[in-house]
Chain A
């Protein structure tokens, strides 16, 4: 079991209110991602849950039990750090075995668990090596191995993939998702990368300046962002925001159209634009356009769309997929 409840949790560092007040419910077995720009308080929130920072006010419950004052080790959580935080003087085997030794488990049981974890994580051949002799991806797996052998009630991940190169990040993303399906344990994952959030999460928590902007499944956030911040943060490339006459005609302060919801044409359309940059990726074409009377707009066409720098193209927003925001940046629902 691993449900986590935050009740009016706040954190103050000196004068700075990093987290004003947060209420959040994380259900057992859920994969929850905290996402937001750097400095939004997502790592602090994770460290509060871990017990590595004191809560200034409020309560943290794990499985209904108040752990606000409990030491990190008493909370039954495991954490994977951004730097992996492997013990440099211990072999891979001893790194993974460390939490079990701390729990005073029997030697034979430890060996079995370490061997199992190593097999699952493809580390069997590396058990006697030191962390410094491993590649980035292998270190990452050791850190995960050290977390899973404890069979914690929840895993905490603090930007675990940010030190890996792009290709490895993709692979590890799949491995972590796969691990979650196998273990069915609660996972709380912090990242600034919305792609990681969208691809892995059951539930995304979008944070900004210590406040929760929106909580929901990836598609909920994509389809109905509650405000401009979430709309702009979720989705890649970013949503286009259009102010002025067009927005007013839709009775909104700002209109938001995702690049994939602009219909491109070489013949006719509502708007006309000049191609500034054309990115031909094969499966997709991204056009960065200077649209007359509107400004910079990004549009996505599926497959190949033959346009080059300086070409004039027409675009029409798909009205059904339009997002409308009022003057406070809050989404207007039809």
Chain B
């Protein structure tokens, strides 16, 4: 195709791509801009030139205690991800390196649990949480997020582990490595990239989960999803603050997401597209 790449072609494609990209990115960009406007500016009509105040960020923290839901989001997403990894790593390991005839069925079945619509079990889960006093508790939500993401974590790890050639493990055994040395010197270094990608993607998924986190929390354990959703009722005159809160809610995960684009494709398609 090299001969086709004329400068004009490249310039046209570049212009088109940038226009599309900016349109798609616009709502995020505009949120960022609005967050540094004053409230009157925010509703004064379209403008890309804010006065550049950081007051909204301060107000969101002082009036609505932004830090609390933020910390809840961090605790829930990181905690549930680590918990899921601890449970999933041995499973995925066994499936990748000691597959049996039933391994495939087990994997498919795990995936099928992900297909179960959350609303279908809303009632029993809600009642169980209520009866066990887990409503609005971080522990309850962490367990919940761990369970709903466990199949994805197992699958992602499985697809990564399966790419570690079995011959290398055999080689290390021939070289005299015991099980422990095999894990420390050969497996871990080779598995770390896959585990890291899984960790990253799962934190993103847990951070943005917006059904259980909203339904099963009120104040104490409420993460950013529930915090932002609580802004839905009042109208007008608060957009700059809403924008500031939104920006802070999405910024950390947006940046994580940029780093994990490639893993995202594999992870969310369960290895079907690489």
A and B touch in the complex (CB under 8 A): yes
Report which A residues bind B (CB closer than 8 A).
50-52, 71-73, 77-79, 81-83, 85-90, 98-99, 101-103, 146, 150
Q: Could you tell me the distance between the alpha carbons of A232 and B229 in the complex, rounded to whole angstroms?
A: 78
Q: Could you tell me the distance between the alpha carbons of A146 and B170 in the complex, rounded to whole angstroms?
A: 14
23 contacting pairs across A/B (C-beta < 8 A): A52-B174, A72-B173, A73-B177, A78-B174, A78-B175, A79-B171, A81-B167, A81-B170, A83-B165, A85-B167, A85-B170, A87-B171, A87-B186, A89-B190, A98-B172, A98-B185, A99-B176, A102-B175, A102-B176, A102-B177, A146-B171, A146-B175, A150-B175
Q: Which 3 A-B pairs have the closest CB atoms?
A: A85-B171, A99-B175, A102-B176
Which residues in B have their C-beta under 8 angstroms from that of A82?
167
Which residues in A have their C-beta under 8 angstroms from that of B165?
83, 85
Known A-B contacts: A72-B173, A85-B165, A89-B189. Give 5 more (CB < 8 A).
Answer: A86-B168, A98-B175, A98-B185, A102-B175, A102-B181
Query: How near does chain B come to A45, taking the closest CB pair, in angstroms?
Result: 15
* Interface of A, helix, strand, loop or mixed by DSSP: loop
Q: CB within 8 Å of A: which of B173-227?
A: 173-178, 181, 185-186, 189-190
Query: Which residue of B is nearest A146, CB measured?
Result: B175
Which residues in A have their C-beta under 8 angstroms from that of B174?
50, 52, 72-73, 77-79
B176 close to A103 (CB less than 8 A): yes
Q: Which of B176, B177, B178, B190 has the most CB of A within 10 A?
A: B176
Query: Which residue of A is nearest B186, CB measured?
Result: A87
Query: Which residue of A is nearest B193, CB measured?
Result: A89
Query: Which residue of B is nearest A80, CB measured?
Result: B171
Query: How near does chain A come to B107, taking the closest CB pair, in angstroms?
Result: 21
Q: Could you tell me the distance between the alpha carbons of A83 and B163 in the complex, rounded to whole angstroms?
A: 14
Q: Could you tell me the distance between the alpha carbons of A103 and B168 in the complex, rounded to whole angstroms?
A: 18
Query: How near does chain B come to A231, taking the closest CB pair, in angstroms?
Result: 34
Q: CB within 8 Å of A: which of B129-188?
A: 165, 167-168, 170-178, 181, 185-186
B173 close to A52 (CB less than 8 A): yes
Which residues in B have their C-beta under 8 angstroms from that of A78?
174-175
B177 close to A87 (CB less than 8 A): no
Query: Which residue of A is nearest B166, CB measured?
Result: A85
Q: Could you tell me the distance between the alpha carbons of A145 and B175 in the complex, rounded to whole angstroms?
A: 12
Which residues in B have their C-beta under 8 angstroms from that of A73?
173-178
Query: Which residue of A is nearest B164, CB measured?
Result: A88
Q: Could you tell me the distance between the alpha carbons of A278 and B203 in the complex, rounded to whole angstroms?
A: 67
Q: Could you tell me the distance between the alpha carbons of A52 and B173 in the complex, rounded to whole angstroms?
A: 8
Q: Could you tell me the distance between the alpha carbons of A77 and B174 in the complex, rounded to whole angstroms?
A: 7
Which residues in A have their C-beta under 8 angstroms from that of B185?
87, 98, 101
Which residues in B have their C-beta under 8 angstroms from that of A150?
175-176
Which residues in A have their C-beta under 8 angstroms from that of B178?
73, 102
Q: Could you tell me the distance between the alpha carbons of A83 and B169 in the complex, rounded to whole angstroms?
A: 12
Which residues in A have their C-beta under 8 angstroms from that of B186?
87
Which residues in B have their C-beta under 8 angstroms from that of A52?
170, 173-174
Which residues in B have their C-beta under 8 angstroms from that of A88?
168, 190
Query: Which residue of B is nearest A47, CB measured?
Result: B170
Contact of A83 among B167, B172, B173 (CB under 8 A): B167
Q: Could you tell me the distance between the alpha carbons of A158 and B31 in the complex, rounded to whole angstroms?
A: 61
Which residues in A have their C-beta under 8 angstroms from that of B181?
102
Which residues in A have their C-beta under 8 angstroms from that of B176?
73, 99, 102-103, 150
Query: How near does chain A come to B169, taking the closest CB pair, in angstroms?
Result: 8
Which residues in B have their C-beta under 8 angstroms from that of A146?
171, 175
Query: How near does chain B come to A19, taking the closest CB pair, in angstroms?
Result: 19
Q: Could you tell me the distance between the alpha carbons of A78 and B174 in the complex, rounded to whole angstroms?
A: 6
Q: Could you tell me the distance between the alpha carbons of A150 and B171 in the complex, rounded to whole angstroms?
A: 13
Query: How near does chain A come to B265, taking the closest CB pair, in angstroms?
Result: 22
Query: Which residue of B is nearest A143, CB measured?
Result: B171
Query: Which residue of A is nearest B169, CB measured?
Result: A85
Q: Could you tell me the distance between the alpha carbons of A91 and B201 in the complex, rounded to whole angstroms?
A: 30
Query: How near does chain B come to A76, taking the closest CB pair, in angstroms?
Result: 9
Q: A73-B178, A102-B177, A102-B181 are in contact. Are A81 and B190 (CB under 8 A)?
A: no
Which residues in B have their C-beta under 8 angstroms from that of A101?
185
Which residues in B have their C-beta under 8 angstroms from that of A50?
170, 174
Q: Which of B170, B171, B181 has the most CB of A within 10 A?
A: B171
Which residues in B have their C-beta under 8 angstroms from that of A71?
173
Which residues in A have their C-beta under 8 angstroms from that of B189?
87, 89-90
Which residues in A have their C-beta under 8 angstroms from that of B177?
73, 98, 102
Which residues in A have their C-beta under 8 angstroms from that of B190?
87-89
Q: Could you tell me the distance between the alpha carbons of A185 and B189 in the complex, rounded to whole angstroms?
A: 33
Q: Could you tell me the distance between the alpha carbons of A146 and B181 in the complex, rounded to whole angstroms?
A: 17
Query: How near does chain B come to A54, taking the closest CB pair, in angstroms?
Result: 13
Q: Which of B168, B170, B174, B178 has the most CB of A within 10 A?
A: B174
Query: How near does chain B come to A95, taking the closest CB pair, in angstroms?
Result: 10
Query: How near does chain B come to A70, taking the closest CB pair, in angstroms?
Result: 12
Q: Could you tell me the distance between the alpha carbons of A85 and B175 in the complex, rounded to whole angstroms?
A: 11
Query: Which residue of B is nearest A99, CB measured?
Result: B175
Q: Could you tell me the distance between the alpha carbons of A87 and B177 in the complex, rounded to whole angstroms?
A: 13
Q: Could you tell me the distance between the alpha carbons of A82 and B167 in the complex, rounded to whole angstroms?
A: 9
Which residues in A have their C-beta under 8 angstroms from that of B172?
87, 98
Q: Could you tell me the distance between the alpha carbons of A86 and B175 in the complex, rounded to whole angstroms?
A: 11
Query: How near does chain A come to B132, taking the closest CB pair, in angstroms?
Result: 45
Query: How near does chain B come to A48, taking the closest CB pair, in angstroms?
Result: 13
Which residues in B have their C-beta under 8 angstroms from that of A51?
173
